[in-house]
């Protein structure tokens, strides 16, 4: 052994063996490497916006750009296209005091996109007109699928609808689904882009535009449910191939709770289910939080009071993480803000049609509560809501009391077009290699 150690080559071999043993022990006992941190979407500024307004000849479109508000007339019965920088919002509100079109009806002009979801009364209960508008220079091809209580009902009639460049189509949904009492409409654009809107008229018992709903999700928050009299009906669609059992939580001005006897709703696959939540929220301003293992789409039908009640609609919408703006507001407008979890805070600013924008004011929303926030702008004005902290959802409600009954319109606070979330991009050969 001594001779082996004295040999320089033997000594070198011994050192190598010892180091190898130490390395082996270190390798076996090393801590597991931390998994790479998942990268979420990036918040990036929107540089330009195109908004398309469904036609109502003679009406004025309110156009909001950061800190300014203007009004542009619709001179004909064609969709009105508004182009501008990031932050652009556009919309209008019509007012009819009597007749079959009686009601306040407010619409947010839509940005062309690939998919749109709408929830509301079906063609058996209302005259529903679907507007498909193509503001691009290329044709668009779309499928329209209607879901009702009895399941998918539009079959092949709504498939492969072509809208020419710069063209539009106004579709009476009775031609696609005449028997549906309640419905969810999914518009999928196969080529090109379309701006989508739909108006429902109940023949003298109210009229309004259906707001776009968030796509099918396992958690949906339907905000902006106004307090007061009348009825509140929740509509939930499960457009996939699996049944949904939906847990429902009400978040009102006083509490957050599961409504007695209305804690959950079963929705068969490919259909729409309705639930009267009027007594569940007890006349308070509220939001509804829906959770399900199966993705669902949801909205609420609000019916006012009086001999001739008006109707309004709200729908599932994202939180105010990206802020929100509503261009068309007036007397009787207010915000209905909800913090379904921890307490939240937002900043609110009024933008008049003349003069500088007002100073922002802060609104605190207690945890698990809903707050009404009156808007004290004069004449026609815009309102901008900016997140400060917490998870807050909201809607803008406008009311006018007449002797014949309450006029009302509702609009959930959709994400502002100032910012967008850009998903993480990865290198992959699948974009050029066929599968």
What number of H helices and E strands is found in the chain? 3, 33
Tens digits of per-residue pLDDT, 313-323? Answer: 999 999 999 99
Q: Which residues contact 224 (CB under 8 A, 6 or more apart)?
A: 287, 314, 336, 393, 394, 395, 396, 397, 410, 411, 412, 413
What does pTM read for this prediction? 0.88
Q: What is the mean pLDDT of residues 244-249?
A: 98
Return the ∠ at Cα 264 (arms to 261 and 269), rounded to 5°: 135
In this prediction, residue 185 carries a pLDDT of 98
Share above pLDDT 90 across residues of the chain, in percent, rounded to a whole number: 78
* 269 has a pLDDT exceeding 50: yes
pLDDT band at 33 (very low <50, low <70, confident <90, very high): low
Under DSSP, the state recorded for 131 is E
Tens digits of per-residue pLDDT, 105-154? Answer: 999 999 999 999 999 999 999 999 999 999 999 999 999 999 999 999 98
Share above pLDDT 70 across residues of the chain, in percent, rounded to a whole number: 88
* 405 has a pLDDT exceeding 50: yes
In this prediction, residue 238 carries a pLDDT of 98
Which of 62, 58, 106 minimizes the C-alpha distance to 353? 62
pLDDT band at 20 (very low <50, low <70, confident <90, very high): low
CB-CB contact of 311 with 244 (8 Å): no
pLDDT band at 419 (very low <50, low <70, confident <90, very high): confident
Q: What is the mean pLDDT of residues 79-89?
A: 95
Q: Both tokens of residue 181? A: 């009492």
* 23 has a pLDDT exceeding 70: no
In this prediction, residue 14 carries a pLDDT of 47
CB environment 279-296: b (16+ within 10 A), e (fewer): ebbeebbbbbbbbbebbb
Under DSSP, the state recorded for 212 is P
Length of the chain as a residue count: 435
In this prediction, residue 4 carries a pLDDT of 45
Separation between Cα atoms, residue 152 and residue 362, nearest integer Å: 45
Tens digits of per-residue pLDDT, 175-228? Answer: 999 999 999 999 999 999 999 999 999 988 999 999 999 999 999 999 999 999
Q: Both tokens of residue 404? A: 């014949």
Tens digits of per-residue pLDDT, 149-170? Answer: 999 998 788 999 999 999 999 9
């Amino acid at each position: 052994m001594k001779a082996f150690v004295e040999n320089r080559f033997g000594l070198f071999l011994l050192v190598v063996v010892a180091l190898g043993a130490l390395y082996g022990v270190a390798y076996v006992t090393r801590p597991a490497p931390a998994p790479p941190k998942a990268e979420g979407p990036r918040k990036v500024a929107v540089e330009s916006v195109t908004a398309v307004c469904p036609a109502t000849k003679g009406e004025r479109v309110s156009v909001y750009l950061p800190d300014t508000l203007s009004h542009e007339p619709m001179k004909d019965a064609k969709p009105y296209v508004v182009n501008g920088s990031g932050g652009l919002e556009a919309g209008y509100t019509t007012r009819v005091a009597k007749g079959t079109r009686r009601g306040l009806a407010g619409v947010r002009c839509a940005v062309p996109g690939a998919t749109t979801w709408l929830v509301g009364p079906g063609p058996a209960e209302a005259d529903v007109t679907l507007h498909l508008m193509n503001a691009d220079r290329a044709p668009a091809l779309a499928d329209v699928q209607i879901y009702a209580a009895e399941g998918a009902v539009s079959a092949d009639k709504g498939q492969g609808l072509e809208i020419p460049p710069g063209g539009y189509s106004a579709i009476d949904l009775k031609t696609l689904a005449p028997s549906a009492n309640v419905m969810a409409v999914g518009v999928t654009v196969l080529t090109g882009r379309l701006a989508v809107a739909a108006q429902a008229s109940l023949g003298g018992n109210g009229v309004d535009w259906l707001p776009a709903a968030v796509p099918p999700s396992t958690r949906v928050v339907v905000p902006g449910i106004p307090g007061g009299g009348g009825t509140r009906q929740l509509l939930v669609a499960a457009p996939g191939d699996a049944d949904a059992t939906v847990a429902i939580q009400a978040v009102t001005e006083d509490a957050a709770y599961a409504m007695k006897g209305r804690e959950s709703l079963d929705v068969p696959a490919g259909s729409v289910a309705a639930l009267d939540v009027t007594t569940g929220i007890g006349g308070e301003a509220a939001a509804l939080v829906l959770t399900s293992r199966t993705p669902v789409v949801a909205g609420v039908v609000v019916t006012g009071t009086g001999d001739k009640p008006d109707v309004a609609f709200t729908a599932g919408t994202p939180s105010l993480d990206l802020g929100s703006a509503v261009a068309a507001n007036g007397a009787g407008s207010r915000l209905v803000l909800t913090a379904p979890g921890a307490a939240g805070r937002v900043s609110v600013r009024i933008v008049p049609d003349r003069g500088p924008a007002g100073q922002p004011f802060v609104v605190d929303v207690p945890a698990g509560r809903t707050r009404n926030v009156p808007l004290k702008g004069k004449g026609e004005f815009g309102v901008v809501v900016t997140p400060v902290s917490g998870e807050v959802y909201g809607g803008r409600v406008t009311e006018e009391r007449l002797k014949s009954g309450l006029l009302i319109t509702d609009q959930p606070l959709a994400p502002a077009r100032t910012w967008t979330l850009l998903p993480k991009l990865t290198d992959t050969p699948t974009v050029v290699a066929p599968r």
